[in-house]
Amino acid sequence: MTDAPRDLSLHDEAPPRLEGQNRLRLIGICFTAFFLAIAGQVTHLTLFPKQDEGPLRPITEAPLPRPDIVDRNGVLLATDVAVASIFADPSKIIDIDEAVELLTATMPDVDAKELRRKLTTAKRFAWIKRQVSPEERDAVYNLGIPGVSYVNERRRVYPQGRLSSHVVGYVDLDTKGIAGIEKYLDDQGALYTASLAEPAEHKTQPAQMSIDIRVQAALIDEIGQAITKFKAIAGGGIVMNINTGEVLSLVSLPDFNPNQEKKNFSKDQQNRMTSGVYELGSVVKAVTFAMALDYGTATLESRYDARFPLVLGSARINDFHAQRRVLTLPEVFTNSSNIGTAKMALEVGTVRHQEFLRRVGLFQKLQTELPEAAKPLLPRRWSKLATATAAFGHGFAVQPLQGAAVVAGLLNGGHLLTPTFLRRNEEEAMAMATTVVKSSTSEVLRYLFRLNATEGSASKADVIGYRVGGKTGTAEKVVAGRYSKEKRLASFIGAFPMDNPKYLVLVMLDEPKAIPGTYGFATSGWNAVPTAGKIIERIAPMLDVEPVFTPEDLQKLAKLEEQEKKKKQN
């Protein structure tokens, strides 16, 4: 007997009353969860306020400071000041149009189109303006724009402005050294002696330079006046302690202002004293004389036939002020005879000539603390003709600072020193010096330098009482691959006091012109030499060099006073 089928629909369906209770229970659970979520969020926001609501909070951490840079007497040349920079997190900007309008109204120099581009980027960070004033910082922050705030930074400032621009150099917006001593400090890793664990008031020790800002001011003033007076396109100068190699002053004009915001400097504003190479002309004859004297192929009694041009193959070497007679060695120097100097080098010989130039460093690039340094330009083939022409500075170009350093080594007793822009004493300098000539050679060269100031082409640099000596040089410039008869580089290297020389002065003028009073001449003796005389007259008292007056000096002073009286009367 089979069972009857069951009516499952009647037994499995939940009673209506039970189904309603389940629905109410589910709705209650959902409402409870919803209100708990809201309460939790309110509690979280109350206890832990959201940081990205409204304007970003300012970032107060700033990079550790660069050391101050001071001159040899402690005068401040470069330092850090606290500044703020405005930035944005574009992802937090609610209304870009409003933000652009408000920010450009507050900072009119901000380009609206560029700002809009930055704020529409997908990046989380964008600079709006670097290194703003405190007033701009506060004004922007008070706008309350979500996603916009500032960060504390440091700005490098140069209290002396363009006065020391080429030697001190400058940094970029992130205070990274770009040129001069600023870059040297970065390269040496000498910047951040502080650490994050040290107190915030930590101050790095200043970097003390060899530069004397008083001498620098005098040099830049006189070089600037000379450029204007002689209508030169550029100029430069160096003052160096020949016993320590310290550079007390280096000037290159045109210069630049390291404080200007956009440092897009032109090629004309480069440091010509180290980053350029020039034919210094007859200034190089001092090296040739020292070489011949030191090798013993020449003495003060030596004579050189300068009656006719020196012929080497198809080349003819002439004198600018031809004497057309036999010259003594001192006369070759004071008359700056190319013929006599070339013959002097040929007597030494090509091989030994090159050896001597290597000995004094003229075959290598001079490298100092300044990163801007150029290699010498040497003859491609060192032939007999190359020896003859290089002897008087033709076809042979070096950094002006390098030329000054070599001459300083020849005058200080024969001790070649690498120039420095940082302070060092004589004992430290001599410990690293290289002896390049005998002391007797140096003594004869000092005599010739002094003789050239009393009887030769450097007479306009002979400041009464300071026993100046020097060597002039006028070189034709290379234009389009050829030497130009119209464009010249005039230079002078001198020292004082010559009986016991302490300081060397170099003056260089690029393309000086003849003016009324120079009788149609634009050579060194008429422009660079008198400029050097004015410089020495100004800086000698600053450097504690006391004048010594001979009876002849006193007579000259009396004549000058008489001339001044007559001028006043007229």
Q: Which residues are catalytic?
A: 282
- One-letter amino acid for residue 242 of the chain: I
Q: How many helices (H) and strands (E) does the chain have?
A: 18, 18
The CA distance from 401 to 186, in Å, is 23
The DSSP secondary-structure symbol of 491 reads E
The CA distance from 421 to 399, in Å, is 16
Q: What is the DSSP secondary-structure string of 504-549?
A: EEEEEEES----TTTTT--SGGGTHHHHHHHHHHHHHHHTT-----
The CA distance from 151 to 129, in Å, is 11
Cβ neighbours for 403, distance < 8 A, ≥ 6 positions apart: 280, 283, 284, 493, 506
The residue among 515, 434, 532, 19 whose CA lies nearest residue 237 is 532
Token pair, residue 59, equals 């970032």
The CA distance from 63 to 81, in Å, is 12
Strand partners, 479: 482
The CA distance from 511 to 526, in Å, is 13
The tally of CA atoms less than 13 A away on the side-chain side of residue 219 is: 29
- One-letter amino acid for residue 12 of the chain: D
- Pairing, β 207-208 against β 69-70: parallel
Contact 232, 196 (CB under 8 A): no
- One-letter amino acid for residue 478 of the chain: V
Token pair, residue 356, equals 């001597």
The CA distance from 276 to 233, in Å, is 15
Specify the residue for token string 């589910």: 26
The CA distance from 112 to 458, in Å, is 61
Calculate the alpha carbon distances from 302 to 293, 332, 349 in Å.
10, 10, 17
| Residues comprising the chain, all counted | 570
Q: At what angle do helices 285-295 and 350-359 cross, to 10 degrees?
A: 110
How many of the other CB atoms lie within 10 Å of CB of 344? 26
